Structure formats: structure tokens, C-alpha cells
Structure 1
Amino acid sequence: MERHLEKVMRAICACALALTVTGCVETAPKVAISEPDPELNFVRGYRSVADECQLVGETAFTVDFLDDASDLVACPTGSAAMASLLAETGAAVVTQTNSFTFFRFPYR
């Protein structure tokens, strides 16, 4: 009986987390564009080489979101990688394109 209760509680916690993250995803960005996505310069995975969330370099679209004191990171909108990044950091959305959501991470 205790194992069943433990499984149920884990499922409830997972659902609560998913609902919380989903609520964060729907935050209205300051600037959004429609199709097609702008040209983006992906540098590398942000948390690891295989991370879907990518460090983004300068392009005509990103120039207004970059500065010398933070990283600009783009995640595929609605992806598991984006959900885990939000859960880990609580980052706010900077902007959004049709396919990507952008976050800024200060490092000083």
C-alpha cells in the first residue's frame, strides 16, 4: 500500500511540475515574430554538447538581446529541454520566434 501511495504522490508531483512549467512557457515575450524564423547563429549546447538549448551568437535578429554580461540561449519552444531549463533556473523569456524561445543568463 505504501509503494502505491508513493507512486501516486510522484505522479502528482510530476503533473504539478508540468503544469508549472507549462504556465511559464505561456509568458508573453517582449518581442515576437511570425514565420519564417530569422537566421540564427547557434554556437553550442548550453548545458552540454547534446543540449537542445543552444548558446546563440550575434545575428541581425539577436543583436538587440545580446550584451557582454550574459549568455543568450535559445530552446525549441515547448521542448523537454526548455522545460528542464525553466525548472532548473526559473529564467524569464526574453523573446520568441515561431520555433524558439530565448532566455538571457547573466554571468556577472
Structure 2
Amino acid sequence: MRPFLLIALAPLLLACEPGTSSEPAGEPLPLMGGYRDPADQCVRVGENAFTNQFLDDAADFVGCPEDYEGVGVFETETGARLVAVEQEYRLYSVPVR
């Protein structure tokens, strides 16, 4: 009985396709280079349709990789405030000093 069940279900299983998102991919983050120095993993982030909602004249907009181990030190040293996570980056508003 089981082989018959598998044979009967095979066409249904083969017809299944992996799901795709109906949401279009957003434009890439405009990453502009190291924040504290050129080799810094945290980078300045420019303006695009997504980031413009977070930009502020009194703060720098900075992105750090989600897996960056020094994020706690970065937040403490700079006074950074997490505002979003997007495209594997934690995005911060960092007060200009």
C-alpha cells in the first residue's frame, strides 16, 4: 500500500516549486568606506530610498556588519543608537562630536 501512495503523490511533489518572494529586492545600501579609519568594519552609509528616513544633520549614519564582534565597543565609544537592521548590516545614528 505504501509504494502505491508514494507513486500517487510523486506528481504532486514534483510539481512543487520553491517559493519566491513577491517583494522586489531593495536597492543595495550605499556603503562609503570605513567610519573611524579606512580599515574599519563599520562604514559610512549614504542616502537612498531606504536610508533617507534615518539621516540627520546632527549625526553620522553608520553601518556595521551584523556579525561584527566589536559592536559593543563601537556603541559605547561613539554613542551610536541602533535604528535599523538591513541587508546584514546594523544601521546606527552616531552623534557628531
Q: TM class by shorter-chain length?
A: 0.5 to 0.7
State yes or no: 1:103 paired with 2:92. yes
Paired residue for 1:83, among 72, 75, 86? 72
In angstroms, what is the RMSD of aligned CA positions? 2.3
Judging by fraction of residues, say which structure has more helix: 1
TM-score w.r.t. length of structure 2 = 0.63
- Matched positions, count: 74
Structure number with greater Rg is 2
| Map of 2:7 onto structure 1 | none
Unaligned runs of 5+ residues in structure 1 are 1-35
Task: Give structure 1 regions of 4+ aligned residues with deviation exceeding 3 angstroms.
Answer: none
Amino acid at match of 1:77: E
Identity %: 40
1:90 Cα deviation from its structure 2 partner: 4.6
- Work out whether residues 71 and 107 of structure 1, in 8 Å CA contact, stay in contact via their aligned partners in 2: yes
- Change in 2 beyond 3 A, CA 1:50/1:105: same
After TM superposition, the score normalised by the length of structure 1 is 0.58
Secondary structure of 1:72's aligned partner: strand
Counterparts of residues 1-108 of structure 1 (less than 5 Å): 38-107=27-96
More strand by share: 2
Q: Which has the higher contact order (CA 8 A, sep 6+)?
A: 1
1:63-101 alpha-carbon deviations (Å, 9 max, x no partner): 100122210000001312423312423532111124110
Counterpart amino acid of 1:83?
G
Structure 2 residues without counterparts, runs of 5 or longer: 1-24
